[in-house]
Amino acid sequence: MEKKCKLTISILASNRKDTIPKCLESIKPLLEKVDSELIVTDTGCDEDLLEIIRKYTDKVVRFQWCNDFAAARNVGLNMARGQWFMYIDDDEWFEDVSEIITFFNSDEEKEYDSANYIVRNYYSKEGAEYGEWVVGRIFRIYETTKFVGRIHEYVPFNPNKMKHLSAYAHHYGYVYESNEQRLAHSERNITLLEKEIDDNPTDARNYAHIYQEYRENNDPEKMLKYAEKAIENVDLSVTVDLSYDKVAIDEENFEEAKAVQKAQRDNVTQL
C-alpha cells in the first residue's frame, strides 16, 4: 500500500501559459515545507507547458475534457494519497501560503475537518477593483468524499469545524478581452447549468448560479424566473448564494432573500 501524506494539492491545467507558472510557484513553499504531493490533471496542455509542470510534480494525468468539472476534479481526488485535499485553479495564485503551512505543520489541523481561503476576483487588468470570496477548498478526505456538479462543482458535506484562513489567491479570470469573450464564457456556463437543472430540478444551487449568469447579461425576465426557482427549492439547512451581492438563503436571512426576489420582480415590471 502506498504511504499516505498529509496533504494532496490538486490543479486542473488547461494550457493557461500566462498564469500556471505563477500558480505553481505560489504553492512551491507548501510542497517544500508540508508533507504533501501535487497532482495536475491535464485537460489540454501542450508539451511546452507540460515540461514546466513536470518541474513541480511527476504526477500529471491526462483527462479528456467532457464538459464536466466534477469529473475532472475527481481524477485528482481519486489518486490522492493525502489525508487532506486542497485545490486551486490554474488561473489563480496565492499571495502567501505561510498561514496554510502553519496550519498543517501544527497540531491545529487535528481540530478541524475543513478549511477555507479567500479568492480575490479582480474586475480590471490593473487590479484596482476586486471582490473577495471565501471558498471551502481544503478538506479531509473520507471514503465518501466526491465532487459533484458539471460546473460550480463542490464536495457536499457539512463540516463539523472549519478553519477560516486569511490566505488569499489572486484571480483575473473575470477580466475579459471583449464583451464577445464574456458572452461566450457565460453561454458555456448556462449550457452546463441547464443540464444540471435537467438532472437535478430541485437543487437551488443551480438556479442561483444561472440567475447570476442572467444578472450579468442584464436579462431581468430570466433573472426573475430563476430567483423564484431558487426560493422555491431552497433547503434551509444549507446556504446558497442568490446573487453576486452575496445574499444568502438560510434561516436567519430567508426574509431578506425573499425581499431580493420581490425587488427583482418589481424591476421586471418596470422594464
More confident residue, 246 or 238: 238
**Could you read off the pLDDT of 6-30 as tens digits, one per residue?**
999 999 999 999 999 999 999 999 9
| Degrees, nearest 5: CA angle 195-73-206 | 30
- pLDDT (0 to 100) of residue 159: 76
CB atoms within 10 A of CB 186: 16
Residue 4 is given by DSSP the state: P
Element (H, E) at 171: strand 162-171
Q: In the structure, what pLDDT confidence band is assigned to residue 1 with cuts at 50, 70 and 90?
A: low
- pLDDT (0 to 100) of residue 231: 84
**Residues paired with 119 in a beta bridge:** 133, 169
Whether the per-residue pLDDT at 173 is higher than 70: the answer is: yes
**Could you read off the pLDDT of 174-223 as tens digits, one per residue?**
999 899 999 999 999 999 999 999 999 999 889 989 998 998 898 989 98
- pLDDT (0 to 100) of residue 196: 96
DSSP 99-147: HHHHHHHSGGGGG-SEEEEEEEEESSTT--SEEEEEEEEEEE--TT---
- pLDDT (0 to 100) of residue 156: 87
Nine-digit cell string for 56 = 513541480
Q: In the structure, what pLDDT confidence band is assigned to residue 235 with cuts at 50, 70 and 90?
A: low
The overall average pLDDT reported for the chain is 87
| Degrees, nearest 5: CA angle 123-124-130 | 40
Please give the Cα distance from 9 to 22 (Å, whole number). 15
What percent of the chain is predicted at pLDDT more than 90? 73
| Interacting residues of 94 by C-beta distance below 8 A, sequence separation 6+ | 26, 27, 88, 100, 117, 167, 168, 169, 170
Look at the block and give the residue holding cell 443540464: 195
Please give the Cα distance from 76 to 38 (Å, whole number). 9
